[in-house]
């Protein structure tokens, strides 16, 4: 066995009270590090790790149970692959069918270093672009592996029957996506996520039929079960009968997606939440970089108070649409078609001539905010400001013909028209940034194992591959890479080092976890206050967007922390959850999720406060260049911030994992 197989780093001993307390909000603890990536050339790390990972004899596999929470791209792919390998898999999702996981909503595409276009793409270039795009806040080893397995993903999906877009010769078509200059994005019209997820879902259903996977739909994980410091199961609630169930296993995988819904309004599916990872965090799993939120530049602007979510318009639209606002404020209320070319400000093309409308999302978003803050926004006013910019297809329609545009973007145009009542074939679309994706998540090592042995985390739920910013088409890639190719290889190493002692449902720690869930459900039902769950969620979202959104400042963040604390306090005194715990009760489901969001929101603000630099989606007003671009501070902050739960009345502890760049040189990101 090699030296790469050391134990996962354990949470260090708690430092003495008050030692190193900062702002009264958190304290600093011991540094941590990933010990699993083999110390060989980056090109050989994954092959080496796969070779070194111990094997599990096929006959023993069916005696081993793995719980997978989540059936999105990460979880669905993991369940299918682990099932094929012969493990006994228990799969959980809260929707009525695994096919409905939030991954289904992804529109634009999935990256892979196939170099089918011969335009200079390679594994190394995808790796390089991703590290740079993440503003040098991700781990080189993980990102390189992602680029390396990306090509296999496309092969796998095509073999499953995923109908990617093709050219007339029958070969796969590609397009380019925000932040890159090569065409490496594979797509299926504007519904790549749906098609990829259906592929994984079908593979999963095949395993369910084969009896290797047991599916639990409409089940929500509400607690992680730890026995002797290892993850050994979950407590879940059957959302239909209300029954609280115990499920035990040899290892647990969380693939429960991101937490963008902490903002209430976001492009995420309504029920996306943080509960699975937050409950694990409270049991000791470290939560990394929670403040890294991606704001997506091309969403349909907000129309009113009733709004329940924001709709993304795929950023592939930026390939052919041109973004502009009027040069003069006086023109903002005019019909855009009456504003002549010379009175329009194509601000991205002006400021970033080499990337133009294809600059990365954080840059496109912030510039949209800037022009609207200057009073040059368009569309209806929300508050005192019009918050919208034009995404104009008139040039493309003239250049490519209406049919060609419809072929490429038709369904997106239809969706836009349905929501706004306006046709993008006739009037420019209006777009504005919205919360989209979270880059933070549970800390994992190269094996995707958290600091709790036996607890693995995949897809958007972990923190590892995207750094402070995520380029388009890279989350789908990561979800499938984790689920199909990485986890099945690394988890076997953990399982091979077992067998771990059998656990009974009557074990003290199991009973305690279950009781905790039952008590929490009862507590939520018995507050019997005045305010609905949604009203708390909206207020939290408002605080988060205002102070921990596109721009953050020390003053704002401190204020937000206070506001969140009083809101949390009020929540537990004044929330109203009607009905009982013994039937389908959607308010009760939401209440549990919002309670966790309130705690997460506070940690996000603390994380944003401590990171006194700007990077990617995290923009601190105190840290910018003269021309208003994000200013990183590599000297101080080239690390992952991994937070340890401080207990109910305690404060969290910050552990730093230094980021080492041996292959990509740290430099200021420039897209000019």
Ligand X SMILES: Cc1cc2nc3c(=O)[nH]c(=O)nc-3n(C[C@H](O)[C@H](O)[C@H](O)COP(=O)(O)OP(=O)(O)OC[C@H]3O[C@@H](n4cnc5c(N)ncnc54)[C@H](O)[C@@H]3O)c2cc1C
CA dist., res. 77 & res. 483, Å (int): 5
Which residue of 473, 491, 517, 521 would you call a contact of ligand X, by CB under 6 A? Answer: 473
Find the shortest distance in angstroms from Cβ 77 to ligand X.
8
Q: Is residue 69 at the binding interface for ligand X, with CB under 6 A as the rule?
A: yes
Which residue of 37, 221, 533, 654 would you call a contact of ligand X, by CB under 6 A? Answer: 221
Q: Which of 230, 232, 361, 430 is the catalytic position?
A: 361
Active site residue 399: no
Between the alpha carbon of residue 626 and those of residues 208, 382, 636, the distances in Å are 58, 30, 20
Binds 504: which of other proteins, ligand X, none (CB < 5-8 Å by kind) = none
Quick one: 325 or 475, whose CB is closer to ligand X? 475
Q: Is 410 exposed, middle or buried (0-12, 13-18, 19+ CB in 10 A)?
A: middle
Which range touches other proteins (CB under 8 A), out of 46-54, 169-177, 453-461, 516-524?
A: 169-177
Q: Is residue 371 at the binding interface for ligand X, with CB under 6 A as the rule?
A: no
Binds 365: which of ligand X, other proteins, none (CB < 5-8 Å by kind) = none
Q: Is residue 116 at the binding interface for other proteins, with CB under 8 A as the rule?
A: yes
CA dist., res. 303 & res. 533, Å (int): 22
Enumerate residues 256-315 that contact other proteins by CB under 8 A: 269-271, 303-304, 306-309, 311-312
| Contact present, 229 and 7 (Cβ < 8 Å) | no
Q: Is residue 103 at the binding interface for ligand X, with CB under 6 A as the rule?
A: yes
Report the greatest alpha carbon distance in the chain. 75
| Contact present, 52 and 5 (Cβ < 8 Å) | yes
| Contact present, 659 and 638 (Cβ < 8 Å) | yes
Q: Is residue 275 at the binding interface for ligand X, with CB under 6 A as the rule?
A: yes
Find the shortest distance in angstroms from Cβ 16 to ligand X.
35
CA dist., res. 95 & res. 611, Å (int): 36
Find the shortest distance in angstroms from Cβ 605 to ligand X.
23
Residue 569-598 contact track with ligand X, rule CB under 6 A, x = bound? ------------------------------
Q: Is residue 112 at the binding interface for ligand X, with CB under 6 A as the rule?
A: no
Which residue of 81, 261, 277, 469 would you call a contact of other proteins, by CB under 8 A? Answer: 81
Find the shortest distance in angstroms from Cβ 220 to ligand X.
4
Residue 519-558 contact track with other proteins, rule CB under 8 A, x = bound? -------------x-xx-----------------------
Quick one: 167 or 333, whose CB is closer to other proteins? 167
Quick one: 1 or 171, whose CB is closer to other proteins? 171
> Residue holding tokens 């020390």?
554
Find the shortest distance in angstroms from Cβ 273 to ligand X.
6
Q: Is residue 404 at the binding interface for other proteins, with CB under 8 A as the rule?
A: no
| Contact present, 45 and 445 (Cβ < 8 Å) | no
Between the alpha carbon of residue 350 and those of residues 76, 179, 376, 558, the distances in Å are 43, 16, 16, 36
Find the shortest distance in angstroms from Cβ 397 to ligand X.
23
CA dist., res. 6 & res. 35, Å (int): 7
| Contact present, 428 and 336 (Cβ < 8 Å) | yes
Enumerate residues 189-228 that contact other proteins by CB under 8 A: 189, 191, 193-195, 198, 201-203, 205-206, 208-209, 215, 217
Quick one: 279 or 620, whose CB is closer to ligand X? 279
Binds 97: which of ligand X, other proteins, none (CB < 5-8 Å by kind) = other proteins
Find the shortest distance in angstroms from Cβ 240 to other proteins.
6
Q: Is 340 exposed, middle or buried (0-12, 13-18, 19+ CB in 10 A)?
A: exposed
**3-class DSSP assignment, residue 225:** strand
Quick one: 79 or 654, whose CB is closer to ligand X? 79
Which residue of 46, 92, 144, 164 would you call a contact of other proteins, by CB under 8 A? Answer: 164
Which range touches ligand X (CB under 6 A), out of 32-40, 272-280, 498-506, 611-619?
A: 272-280
Between the alpha carbon of residue 330 and those of residues 337, 343, 381, the distances in Å are 15, 11, 14
Quick one: 105 or 406, whose CB is closer to ligand X? 105
Quick one: 55 or 660, whose CB is closer to other proteins? 55
CA dist., res. 216 & res. 195, Å (int): 22
The sign of the torsion formed by the CA atoms of 280, 286, 289, 291 equals positive
Residue 84-103 contact track with other proteins, rule CB under 8 A, x = bound? x----------xxxxxx-x-
Residues 6+ apart with CB under 8 A from 239: 94, 218, 219, 220, 584, 589
Would you put residue 284 in left (φ > 0), alpha (ψ -120 to 50) or beta?
left
Q: Is residue 118 at the binding interface for other proteins, with CB under 8 A as the rule?
A: no
Q: How many residues line the site for other proteins (CB under 8 A)?
A: 79
How many residues does this entry show for the chain?
672
CA dist., res. 642 & res. 648, Å (int): 18
Helix axes 73-85, 192-210, angle to 10 degrees: 30
Q: How many residues line the site for ligand X (CB under 6 A)?
A: 46
Exposed e or buried b per residue across 37-70, where buried means at least 16 C-beta atoms within 10 angstroms of its C-beta: bbeeebeebbebbbeebeebeeeebeebbbbbbb
Residues that bind ligand X (CB under 6 A): 69-75, 92-95, 101-103, 105-110, 192-193, 219-221, 255-258, 267-268, 272-273, 275-276, 312, 437, 459-461, 472-476, 479
Q: Which residues are catalytic?
A: 361
């Amino acid at each position: 066995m090699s030296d790469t197989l050391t134990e996962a780093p354990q949470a260090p001993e708690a430092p003495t009270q008050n030692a190193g307390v900062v702002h009264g909000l958190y304290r600093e603890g011991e540094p941590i590090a990933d010990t699993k990536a083999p110390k060989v050339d980056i090109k050989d790390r994954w092959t080496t790790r796969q070779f070194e990972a111990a094997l599990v004899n096929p006959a023993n596999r069916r005696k081993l149970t793995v719980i997978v929470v989540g059936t999105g791209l990460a979880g669905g792919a993991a369940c299918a692959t682990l099932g094929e390998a012969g493990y006994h898999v228990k799969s959980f999702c809260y929707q009525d069918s695994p096919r409905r996981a939030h991954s289904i909503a992804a529109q634009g595409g999935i990256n892979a270093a196939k170099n089918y276009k011969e335009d200079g793409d390679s594994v190394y270039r995808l790796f390089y672009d991703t590290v740079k795009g993440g503003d040098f806040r991700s781990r080189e080893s993980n990102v390189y592996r992602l680029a390396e397995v990306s090509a296999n993903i496309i092969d796998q999906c095509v073999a499953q029957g995923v109908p990617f877009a093709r050219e007339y010769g029958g070969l796969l078509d590609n397009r380019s996506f925000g932040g890159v200059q090569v065409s490496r994005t594979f797509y299926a019209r504007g519904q790549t996520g749906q098609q990829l997820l259906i592929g994984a879902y079908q593979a999963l259903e095949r395993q369910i039929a084969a009896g290797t996977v047991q599916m639990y739909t409409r089940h929500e994980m509400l607690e992680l079960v730890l026995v002797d410091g290892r993850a050994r199961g979950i407590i879940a609630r059957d959302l239909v009968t209300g029954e609280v169930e115990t499920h035990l296993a040899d290892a647990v995988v969380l693939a429960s997606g991101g937490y963008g819904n902490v903002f209430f309004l976001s492009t995420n599916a309504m029920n996306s939440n943080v509960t699975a990872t937050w409950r694990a965090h409270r049991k000791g799993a470290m939560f990394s970089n929670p403040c890294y939120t991606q704001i997506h530049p091309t969403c349909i602007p907000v129309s009113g108070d009733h709004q329940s979510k924001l709709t993304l318009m795929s950023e592939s639209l930026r390939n052919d649409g041109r973004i502009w606002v009027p040069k003069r404020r006086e023109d903002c209320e005019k019909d855009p078609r009456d504003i002549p070319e010379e009175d329009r400000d194509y601000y991205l093309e002006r400021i970033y001539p080499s990337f133009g409308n294809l600059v990365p999302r954080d840059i496109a978003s912030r510039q949209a905010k800037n022009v609207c803050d200057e009073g040059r926004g368009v569309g209806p006013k929300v508050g005192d400001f019009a918050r919208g910019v034009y995404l104009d297809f008139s040039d493309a329609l003239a250049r490519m013909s209406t049919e060609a545009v419809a072929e490429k973007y038709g369904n997106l145009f239809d969706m836009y028209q349905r929501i706004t009542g306006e046709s993008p074939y006739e009037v420019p679309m209006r777009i504005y940034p919205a919360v989209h994706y979270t880059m933070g998540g549970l800390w994992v090592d190269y094996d995707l194992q958290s600091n709790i042995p036996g607890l693995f985390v995949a897809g958007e739920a972990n923190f590892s591959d995207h750094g402070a910013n995520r380029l388009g088409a890279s989350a789908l890639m990561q979800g499938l890479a984790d689920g199909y190719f990485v986890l099945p290889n690394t988890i076997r190493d953990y399982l091979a080092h077992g067998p771990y002692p059998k656990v009974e449902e009557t074990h003290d720690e199991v009973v305690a976890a279950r009781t905790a869930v039952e008590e929490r459900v009862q507590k939520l039902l018995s507050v019997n206050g005045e305010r609905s769950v949604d009203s708390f969620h909206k207020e939290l979202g408002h605080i988060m967007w205002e102070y921990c959104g596109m721009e953050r400042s020390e003053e704002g963040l401190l204020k937000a922390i206070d506001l969140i604390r009083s809101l949390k306090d009020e929540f537990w005194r004044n929330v109203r959850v009607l009905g009982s715990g013994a039937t389908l009760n959607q308010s009760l489901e939401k209440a549990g999720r919002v309670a966790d969001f309130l705690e997460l929101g506070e940690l996000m603000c603390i994380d944003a406060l401590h990171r006194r630099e700007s990077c990617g989606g995290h923009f601190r007003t105190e840290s910018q260049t003269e021309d208003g671009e994000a200013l990183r501070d590599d000297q101080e902050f080239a690390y992952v911030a991994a937070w340890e739960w401080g207990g109910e009345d305690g404060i969290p502890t910050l552990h730093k994992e230094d980021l080492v760049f041996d292959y990509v040189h740290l430099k200021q990101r420039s897209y000019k």
